[in-house]
Amino acid sequence: MGTIVQKYGGTSVASSEHIERVARRVMRRRAAGDDVVVVVSAMGKETDRLVALAAEVDGPDSAANRREMDVLLSTGEQVTIAMLAMTLNKFGCPACSYTGGQVAIVTDDAHTKARILRIDSERMRCDLNAGRVVVVAGFQGRNEAGDITTFGRGGSDTTAVALASALKADECEIYTDVEGVFTTDPRMVEGARCLPAVTFEEMLELASLGSRVLHTRSVELASKYQMPLRVRSSFDDAPGTLITSEEKIRMAGMEQPTISGIALTRDEAKLTVRGVRDIPGVASHILGPISDANIEVDMIVQNVSADGSTDFTFTVSRPDYELAMKLLKNVAKDIEASEVTGDNKIAKLSLVGVGMRSHAGVASRMFRALAEESINIQMISTSEIKISVVIDEKYLELAARTLHSSFALDQEPG
């Protein structure tokens, strides 16, 4: 007898048949004695349809139009909640649907990327106590004035985690079209395995590094409120991947391996400014124009100075490469750098694992394994639970396979 929040993404509610399948799954959970709150995304390609409609207007990106964009986009989820609640009612399972504003998910005024300020869970609790399933539109809320707001990418996951926290739910299940979180990209490495559990920190590194199962923001929120998340497929009954604290994983008696997974990011590019004078302020001089142009910088590496000059390298996503190079060449003149070089055929590979903290030698084992395959490492960057390397893009698959077996990720731990 607990409270469960389930979230179903667009592919899981793509048609009325899909919605029936979701309804049956919700009812099985109800039958098991749990109170269920369901968060849904827009059906299939509905959000794309609405975005295309707005594009026909081709209005400027003003505050007024961002407000209207939220009015428009929020209809997508509103259709799904009505469809799911009707289906549940048809099957004899009492259900009631709510828009984000109705439940009341109160946000700030930042239209199209609003942040949740508070949630009033009273109405939901009232429905749950009356034996009803509560169906809530993901991705949306309302500001203090009552205007509709939306959360941007990954918004429905955020809704689910926020509602679960407000309701003090036992678990928040994120249903998607994949089985769970994998040790690495299964399209690239045959032995990739679905992980039974990862920590919030690992998931954050894996999510931000290209394992697009969960949006970073929802993991951050779950971590903040210590809300256990479970990523699982809406197409089978496998348990999926539990994402929770290191402590809870240990308490559950689950083995925590040294390395949980390998995140892969293609479509990167690197830029190097050579012969930069090694004086304070030079880094901000280089990166200022880049960030002014809204280009996101990923890795930044600056090596020790030899004879008062140094080399400065950073990576950007590949579509930003040309613009970044142009900006950098202008800067290079100003700071009297000797040369600007770049490479847009690189990829990033990162080992992630909380076990890394207590196990020395992960880095050297990684570098050795890559060296044995003659894969040259172009850049290295590390954090407490992650080691990232940049390599030539053409070696990405080989590197992934090599490290996946070196660290025995294809085998169950223990």
Q: Which residues bind a second copy (CB under 8 A)?
A: 16, 19, 50, 53-54, 56-60, 62, 64-65, 67-69, 71-72, 74-75, 78-79, 81-83, 85-87, 89-90, 94-97, 99, 102, 146-148
Minimum distance from residue 146 beta carbon to a second copy (Å): 6
Indicate the residue among 53 and 238 with the shorter CB distance to a second copy: 53
Indicate the residue among 127 and 173 with the shorter CB distance to a second copy: 127
Indicate the residue among 74 and 183 with the shorter CB distance to a second copy: 74
Q: Which residues contact 110 (CB under 8 A, 6 or more apart)?
A: 149
Indicate the residue among 99 and 218 with the shorter CB distance to a second copy: 99
Indicate the residue among 120 and 296 with the shorter CB distance to a second copy: 120
- Maximum Cα–Cα distance across the chain: 78
CA 234/CA 28 separation, integer angstroms: 13
Minimum distance from residue 41 beta carbon to a second copy (Å): 15
Minimum distance from residue 57 beta carbon to a second copy (Å): 5
CA 282/CA 294 separation, integer angstroms: 19
Is residue 31 within 8 A of residue 51, CB to CB? The reply is: no
Indicate the residue among 53 and 371 with the shorter CB distance to a second copy: 53
Minimum distance from residue 87 beta carbon to a second copy (Å): 5
Question: Residue 210 — left, alpha, or beta (φ > 0 → left; ψ -120 to 50 → alpha)?
Answer: left
Quote the distance between the C-alpha of residue 212 and its chain's center.
Answer: 6
Q: How many residues does the chain have?
A: 414
Match 């040369």 to its residue by tokens. 339
Minimum distance from residue 325 beta carbon to a second copy (Å): 34
CA 342/CA 338 separation, integer angstroms: 14
Indicate the residue among 28 and 90 with the shorter CB distance to a second copy: 90
Mapping DSSP to helix (H, G, I), strand (E, B) and coil, where does residue 221 land?
Answer: helix
| Distances 273 to 43, 202, 211, 382 between C-alpha atoms, Å | 47, 32, 30, 21
Residue at 304: amino acid letter: V
CA 16/CA 20 separation, integer angstroms: 6
Strands 140-142 and 133-137, bridge-based pairing: unpaired
CA 382/CA 346 separation, integer angstroms: 18
Minimum distance from residue 299 beta carbon to a second copy (Å): 39
Indicate the residue among 143 and 234 with the shorter CB distance to a second copy: 143
CA 389/CA 348 separation, integer angstroms: 6
Mapping DSSP to helix (H, G, I), strand (E, B) and coil, where does residue 315 land?
Answer: strand
Per-residue DSSP letter, 373:
T
Minimum distance from residue 5 beta carbon to a second copy (Å): 20
Q: Which residues contact 106 (CB under 8 A, 6 or more apart)?
A: 116, 117, 118, 119, 120, 141, 142, 143, 144
Minimum distance from residue 97 beta carbon to a second copy (Å): 5
Indicate the residue among 16 and 305 with the shorter CB distance to a second copy: 16
Minimum distance from residue 102 beta carbon to a second copy (Å): 6
User: Which phi and psi angles does 153 have, rounded to 5°?
Assistant: -50, 135
Minimum distance from residue 3 beta carbon to a second copy (Å): 22
Indicate the residue among 53 and 279 with the shorter CB distance to a second copy: 53
H helices, E strands: number in the chain = 12, 18
